[in-house]
A and B are shown apart, each in its own frame.
Chain A
Amino acid sequence: MTHPPSAPPASPPAPAVPPAPARPAPAAPPEVPRRRTAFAEGAARLRAAARTEPGRLRIIGAVVAGLLLLLGGVTFAEISARAADADTVRGGSQPLSARAAEIYRSLADANTTAAAGFLAGAQEDPETRQRYERDIDTAAALLAEAAARSSGSAEAQRYIAVLNEALPDYTGLVETARANNRQGMPLGGAYLRYADERMQETMLSAAEALYALETERFQDDLDDARAWPWASMVTGLVVLSVLLWAQRRHYLRTNRVFNQGLLAATAATTVLLVWLVGAHAVARSALTDADENAAQSLSALYGAWTEALKARGDESITLIARGAGSESEDSYRTHMDRLAGEEGRPEGSLLDKAHALADDAEGREPVERAIEATAEWRSRHTDARALELAGEYQDSVNMVIGPEDTTGESFDAVDASLAAAVDHEQAEFTRAANDGHSALGGLRAAAVVLTLLGAVGAVLGIGRRLSEYR
């Protein structure tokens, strides 16, 4: 720590020095007579005090103690804000973002499951039905919760309102589709296609927007929590320089090397500064870790997951449409390409990204399984599609929703692996965010205690010098 031999007398803290209103006084207010007397009076008294050594000492003591108290307050406030941001990230905006992702996923899963169940018709597996109902229940519960919690943003509430309104319509369409289908009426297929269209065009896009919104807010909170506490650090340095200047002056005037009180105040300030920088550096790195290693992984994984769900839904809808067009097959290909890249070129695909972002073996392993299962799914889909085009409709359906060696089986493997990967990354995130939050733990209390101690030390130290003049 360097200190200039001739430190200017308390130069920078001008903006925030409550106990010394005298400083700006000489710059005399122009023409307010009353004020002027009051100011002039104070200024005169100060000038008088500054002419004697005890007076100067008193002023120095007051300034140092005031600065220390200021440092305590600023640090307390700033760290409280950082801790609150970290806490918001950990307990508020990240879970909100994760929940928005879960709304999106459960809706997409419901749509996909409804299509698969519809394809099976009367032979629908009860497990499929339960899965659909679970998805709808999850989505409804999460939406209700989101409506109550989602940080009150009008935009978020708008998306939630759209979803809340569309969800019962959607389930109604699916039920109508099922009822018609069970009576052997192709109208059921038309209803399901319409339900799918509503899901894709209205609901999933609203859910996607909600997820994007919540994720953006989460990133903002994360950035806030990671910002350096500049005000505390600058104030701390100012306090330190003033203390050092006061001690140098003391040394020059008395030839005594140490004033114990001032020394204690310096020590307290130094400890606080080191603690502040250190704790924040730790919190920051933990949060950066949470962001880069977990949050970004999560975002890629959720992206991959929804693409997988959409591709699976399209696969079923293609068969349900029964040759009514090839839009769904085209859409399947688009989603599959986004998920796993074009055939033989996985670079840049969401799974590839998720794999690159996974930072440990435990995180990579499920993604690798998902990549493998996707490749298998793809090749099985090609076979199933070939069967459909060859007029072997039932064989094609069996290959998509049958019990073994089907695209459904591959999809389930992708689904399960991605769920495992998301769980892992979510745990990583929570752990890192907790680390970040707890790093700031004792700092607030320390700021108050240390600066109070410092102020007491400074006052005692100056008081000791003053007593020499009695």
Chain B
Amino acid sequence: MRARGVRTMPENGPGQPAGDGRRGRRRDRRALLLAAAGLALTGSVLAGSLPPGPGHTATGRTGESGQAEHAAHTDDEPVPSAAREECQDGRDPDESYAPARIAGPAVSEIRERGQLVVGIDLNSYLWGYRSPQTGDIVGFDIDLVQAIAEDLLGPRPDIKYLAIPTDQRERAIQDGTVDMVVRTMSITCDRWERVAFSTAYFETGQQLLVPANSPIQGFDDSLDGMRVCRANGSTASKLLDAESHGAQVVGADNHLDCLVRVQLGLADALMTDDALAAGHVAQDPSMRLADEPLTRESYGVAMNLANTDLVSWVNAVLEDYRAPGPDGEPSEWRQSYDRWLARYLYDEETDPPPAPPLPQYRD
């Protein structure tokens, strides 16, 4: 079930790395078959009622060419509530500055300092947390920070990690406390007003997480009379404010506190994005994601609006980070994905191979 929730991610990410070719081919065949089935379905059923099924996935898998494919997806997105945000100027919030390694003032300052100061989260399992065994800060976000810092400062870079509360991320960037924030931070038009984002490095969406035996089917009338927990001030809280389907909303300081409440029977479900939900499932395998994601959003590295040179630099790092190695070995992105997330987000049997979202650049 949990795999269903993640399916959105690889949809627009076709980068199947070479390597496990045979399995890949087999899946290709199956995917094509399913695609055919999907097309047949499309023929017989009204387009609007087409459920997000295997056919959709198959389409995503066929092409290797980037942006057009991605756009096409957004167009025929079958879950209306999961529409991607579009900014007032008609731009996709995921669009960022073109990649370039030019040492402008911001990059130079970091290099002179010899230290990268990064705002992170220490409470998101798999993303950014402190391993109690080693005491090290680890996770998917942290791998990316390492890659950026190595690119900026050379091998064994000096990185200063600052744990930043959610509501202080933007301020820390604006007042220069940190050079960047890599902290499961969604790119939104609103945030673009105050901070700059790199290209997207992960795709996710809000989703309901419920105990395995829960009668809750998804974001629908099965929520009636249930208690749904969400972090105060989160995207989930906006969603639930707009439409609760008869659910009673329970607030908590953060998404992890919601998991505590569900485990203790003080809430019946929680809503957060599926990337963080993966961390929840990892910590409590008896939880499952219900139905499809309700939104589509991307994580980006947030930086100061003025530091366009740094943004471009990070985008250049991300280009390399997404690209498979010259000898066909998986990309750094994929390696990190496999290390942290694959076990919880990726079902080999049913899912297309995971791939990073494709970068979009401003003209």
Contacts and interface: CB of A to CB of B under 8 A. Distances in A.
B304 to A, nearest CB: 18
Contacts, number: 75
Given A190-B260, A191-B260, A391-B160, A184 B122 contact: no
* Chain A interface SS verdict (over half): helix
A325 interface: yes
Contact of B123 (A180, A184, A186): A186
B22 to A, nearest CB: 35
A181 B130 CA distance: 10
B254 interface: yes
A38 interface: no
Contact of A190 (B117, B135, B259): B259
A100 B356 CA distance: 60
Contact of B161 (A193, A324, A391): A391
Which residue of A176, A324, A325 has the most chain B CB atoms within 10 A of its CB atom? A324
Given A122-B133, A193-B257, A185 B125 contact: yes
A391 B132 contact: no
Interface stretch (B162-170, B331-339, B347-355): B162-170
Contacts of B165: 323-326
A122 B135 CA distance: 10
Contacts of B130: 186, 322, 393
Contacts of B160: 390-391
Contacts of A186: 122-125, 129-130, 256, 279, 283
Interface residues of A, number: 26
B253 interface: yes
B132 A121 contact: yes
B256 A391 contact: no
Interface string A173-210: 00010001110111101110110000000000000000
Interface residues of B, number: 32
B131 interface: yes
A375 to B, nearest CB: 28
A344 to B, nearest CB: 28
B11 interface: no
Given A323-B162, A326-B165, A391-B160, A184 B131 contact: yes
B223 to A, nearest CB: 23
Contacts of A322: 122-123, 130, 163
A191 B283 CA distance: 12
B225 to A, nearest CB: 24
B109 interface: no
Given A323-B162, A323-B164, A391-B162, A187 B121 contact: no
A122 B131 CA distance: 11
A23 to B, nearest CB: 75
Contact of B253 (A181, A187, A325, A391): A325
The 3 A-B residue pairs with the shortest CB-CB distance, nearest first, are A323-B163, A322-B122, A121-B132
Given A322-B130, A393-B130, 6 more contacts: A186-B124, A187-B283, A323-B123, A325-B253, A391-B117, A393-B161
5 contacts: A181-B132, A182-B132, A186-B122, A186-B129, A187-B284
Interface of B: 117, 121-125, 129-133, 135, 137, 160-165, 253-254, 256-257, 259-260, 263-264, 279-280, 282-284
